[in-house]
Structure 1
Amino acid sequence: MAEPVASAAGATVFGLVSGVAMNGLHLPHDSGVLAGIVCGSAMYLMRAREPSRWHKAIYFSVSLVGGFYLSNWAMPRFPTLPGWLVGFVPAVSIVTIAIPALDWVERNVPSTLDRIRAWALGKLPGGKANDDS
């Protein structure tokens, strides 16, 4: 039972540090938008079933950065929405899109690169596609 507590503590500290860094850099000018972005990013950490802390950290970072840029895009287009909602929805949607995209990359890119390597080695004079040296 100590592992989930340590994982939750690490995620909380990571979230606080990134929130302070974003606020210190004066990225969003509205504290409601900042709170929405951090909460939307933390939503993934609360629901994540990823075994790797690196995956969690990468997804959380993608959510923070992507949520910031999407909320900057959304603020002038939806001026009647509350700031927290303008920050929350982009951060959550980035995670929703990033997880399947990154999973696809992890599954398909290494095998594609292996096929390209084998093809290129086969085209070299005296090269063998199965030579691992």
Structure 2
Amino acid sequence: MEALTSNEEQVMGIIWQLEKALVRDVLNHYPEPKPPYTTLASIIKQLEKKGYLDHQTYGTTHEYFPVINKKTYQHRSFNRMVKNYFEGSAKNVLSFMVAENKLSEKDLNELEEMVEKLKKDKRS
């Protein structure tokens, strides 16, 4: 599945939140500055073309809904990022986050607990 632009991700975030929406519904939930209606409609059509959305037609109105859920998209995006920027290594991701000071002490403690649990599970 083709990657999304930041504008497309923003629109998908709104549609995931709404679960199904008309273009005007997305526009109403879009933060300022809002794009022109026609620009937003074009982004939505592109999302449909990329396979992220489908629609149901009511007369001349299209109601759009996600074909891929947010969790699946997050999983694919994260895996792509790890592969492209961190040589496919979870260790490299964590090393980067530690080096950038992106993990709080609480985060580190929780990660340590997860690692210990994983070790126990693998021994069983």
Q: TM-score under structure 2 normalisation?
A: 0.31
TM-score (norm 1): 0.29
Structure (1/2) with the larger helix percentage: 1
Larger Rg: 1
Q: Which has the higher contact order (CA 8 A, sep 6+)?
A: 1
Between structures 1 and 2, the one with greater strand share: 2
